[in-house]
Amino acid sequence: MGHREKTTTGMRIWDILPTLFGALNWREETKFSAELRPLIGENKRRLCLVVIDGMGQQLLLSRRGHLPFMRPYLTQASDTLGQALRTCVPSTTVAALTSLHTGLSPAQTGMLGYQCWDPVARRVLNLITFEGYGRPAQSWCDQPTHFTYARNSGLESLALVPPDFVGSKLSDITLRDANLKVSTKLSERCAQAAAAFKQGTDYVYLYWSQLDHWGHNLGWSHPRWLQELEAIDRALSELRAQLPPDVLLAITADHGMVNVTDASTVDLAESELASQVAAISGEPRALHVHLKEKYLGQDPAGNRTRKAPDALVLVQWQKLLAGRGQIVADYRQIYGDISEPDRIGDFTIFAKENYQFVDSRFHSRGVLQMVGVHGSLTPAEMEIPLILV
């Protein structure tokens, strides 16, 4: 397991489990296993991995005064590694969680955004719900996970998740071969984790999404978001106290977040280039634009079956963006070689600062009303914590 995006160095979200499994002598070490071993210690034999959706490193650092438990550990891993741990591109949940559990980048998993183009059905597919996808989940992404690795290695593992994860196609991909146990409260999941380790479980994965929920709805700087973050810090402190001493508690996130406003939102439906757009996928911070045929030029190099955007068309789009976003037409600049290139747009707009790009003809009201968003390349979205206790 393992793959790096073409232009990146340093530890990424898909390195986390290979690194921790290696440090616990469950598999071969990665270079990061050796670097982080002083933080892990020699007495740890089991692993509790907690993922807090949307809990970006930059957000934690800005609110560190509210985090008595996590605060002492916030920069230990990045200081040891010499740079911040980063999530994948795009910095969004479906891509990041799949990368976390498979040890592969989105280029290899095909999980290239919240929404992707389905070249078989010739429509945009929501990768959270997989609504209308009549094929098995493995026909979209057929990769083993670290739950698969644990099972094949004789390790007992458990995933603690919300009830709606059971039977979903996204779970069939990200939690493949996992033993699921559901609950609705963070306190319940922490209690389930502690109980599992007392019964001899080797690896427990605990996922919590409410921080991301409040961030999307109210913004990451809202008091309700901070209230949730404080509650998470207390719960994790209590969890550490309940875990046996041979269990490593590792805390991370799938991505961070930025807040957007009406003034920082560009609606392509209201632009002079609206007539060029055939479909929209991705997400507002990493928007895949699918052009109508007449705006495409010659066949590009590589293995794309669709044509490349016409050069003059790209100039028009650059003018429209006016520095508010970065256009990537050659996906290899960002992703490297993609296993399923026809799932991505004719070009991608990576939003800068706190801008976002929407199209009210295609996006739902829920997407248009979000305050906190993610998906692009900024440190606030890309940098994630790795707390080892």
pLDDT tens digit sequence for 218-227: 999 999 999 9
What pLDDT was estimated at residue 5?
Answer: 52
**For residue 11, pLDDT beyond 50:** yes
Residue-wise pLDDT tens digits, 321-348: 999 999 999 888 888 889 899 999 999 9
Domains plus CATH for the chain?
A: 13-259+378-388 (3.40.720.10), 265-373 (3.30.1360)
- The rounded mean pLDDT for the chain is 95
Distance in angstroms (rounded) separating the CA atoms of residues 377 and 363: 21
Q: How far apart are CA 281 and CA 345, in angstroms?
A: 7
Cα distance from N-terminal residue to C-terminal residue, the chain: 25
pLDDT at residue 297, rounded to an integer: 77
**φ and ψ of 282, to 5 deg:** 70, -135
* Residues 115-140: tens digit of each pLDDT: 999 999 999 999 999 999 999 999 99
Encode pLDDT of 200-217 as tens digits.
999 999 999 999 999 999
| pLDDT band per the 50, 70, 90 thresholds, residue 4 | very low
Residues 115 and 106: their CA atoms lie apart, in Å, by: 13
With CA atoms as reference, report the closest residue to 15 among 94, 112, 88: 88
Cα-to-chain-centroid distance, residue 140:
17
> What percentage of the chain exceeds 90 in pLDDT?
89
Phi, psi values for residue 140, rounded to 5°: -95, -45
